[in-house]
Amino acid sequence: MSYCVSHGKDKVMFLTKEDLSEPSSIVLPEDDEPRGLLLPNGEINWACPCLGNMAVGPCSVEFRESLTCFHNSTADPKGSDCLEQFREMNECMARYPALYKKNDEEEERALEGLDEDDEESLNSLSNVPASTSETVTETSKSEK
């Protein structure tokens, strides 16, 4: 005799050998939740697993505002009109260093691959002191 027991959100099914010898008659429902970053109507899917915990953490408001601004931006380059929102998000993330760890090694590798135009854009966006950009430029030029 087959039967099913519910444990909270889970269901445990006990089947007989006869039930297992036949093809399953269970039809799984279609996944009604979109999996991508954007919903079919073009809005941001805040439930997307690709966002991790960013949309629900202590800086979720700032994150949502900055991503929404970037998504809706018509500026050239895209997102250049969202600097204030990104600055607020970065300030919030700095208040929670245990949750939003900074990976300096990845950042250094990304900076090493920049050309001069990229460095100028980066400096204007993040107000990096000139001495830092000179170091990156010297490093980039010596690697070429």
**What is the reported pLDDT for 143?**
45
Residues 84-110: pLDDT tens digits?
A: 999 999 999 999 988 887 776 766 766
pTM of the model: 0.52
Mean pLDDT of 9-18: 86
The pLDDT value recorded for residue 2 is: 78
The number of residues in the chain equals 144
| Rounded average pLDDT over 69-83 | 94
CA separation (Å) from 41 to 35, 44, 45?
A: 14, 9, 10
In this predicted model, what pLDDT tens digit does every residue of 16-45 receive, in sequence order?
A: 888 888 888 778 777 666 578 998 899 999
**What pLDDT sits at residue 71?**
95
- Dihedrals phi, psi of 10, to nearest 5 degrees: -100, 150
Out of 3.30.70.520, 3.20.20.10, 3.40.50.880, 1.10.287.2900, the CATH code matching 49-107 is: 1.10.287.2900
HSE of 124, CA atoms in CB hemisphere, 13 A: 9
What pLDDT, on the 0 to 100 scale, is given for residue 106?
64
pLDDT band at 59 (very low <50, low <70, confident <90, very high): very high
Count of CB atoms situated within 10 Å of the CB of 121: 13
End-to-end CA distance of the chain: 73
Query: Quick check: 117 pLDDT over 70?
Result: no
- Confidence (pLDDT) at 22: 86
